[in-house]
Amino acid sequence: MSKRNTIQKQLILNAMNQMEDHPTADEVYQKIAASYPGISKATVYRNLGTLTEDGLILKLNVPGAADKYDRSTHAHYHAVCSRCGKFIDLETDRPLRVDIDDTAMKDFTIEEYTILFKGICMECKNGQTENTSNDVFNIEFKKSKGEKA
């Protein structure tokens, strides 16, 4: 059983390596099912959960849409284009801080939080549709101390 699980996990990781964007569970399933029609959706979903627990992939909560999965597990942020829905990796060496007043959270213990930037990707901004490269999205984080950008 554990060997079978290992093979299933490897199938999922291989499929995700071939997928450029951050796929949803269903997109991962569709990709695998194209080559392995016998695999069930439940199996793919369950293994995505295990891989997330094992820290081999990241699960990204997307408000109002299906969760996405990410093969890149290093610390990075995400932005979603509000026009075309493209999901983009944002690399920054400036870690973001979320400051919440202790008293505001006295009845709640935060275990994790998700930061998702929304905006317009460079292609949509320029009226292009073709995907050129990953570095076309230049985001400038606003300085937090009232400094004007």
Q: Is 70 in the site for Zn ion (CB under 5 A)?
A: yes
Q: Is 83 in the site for Zn ion (CB under 5 A)?
A: yes
Q: State which residue, 84 or 116, has the beta carbon closest to Zn ion.
A: 84
Asked if 87 and 78 count as a contact pair (C-beta separation under 8 A), the reply is yes
Return contacts of 36-39, CB within 8 angstroms, 24+ apart: 36/11, 39/8, 39/11
Nearest 10 degrees: Cα torsion 77, 23, 73, 67: 70
Instruction: With contacts defined by CB under 5 A, name the span among 36-44, 45-53, 88-96, 135-143 that binds Zn ion.
Output: 88-96
Which of 48, 60, 62 minimizes the C-alpha distance to 13?
48
Binds Zn ion (CB under 5 A): choice among 39, 90, 124, 139: 124
Binds Zn ion (CB under 5 A): choice among 89, 117, 119, 139: 89
Q: Is 88 in the site for Zn ion (CB under 5 A)?
A: no
Q: Is 12 in the site for Zn ion (CB under 5 A)?
A: no
Q: State which residue, 27 or 89, has the beta carbon closest to Zn ion.
A: 89
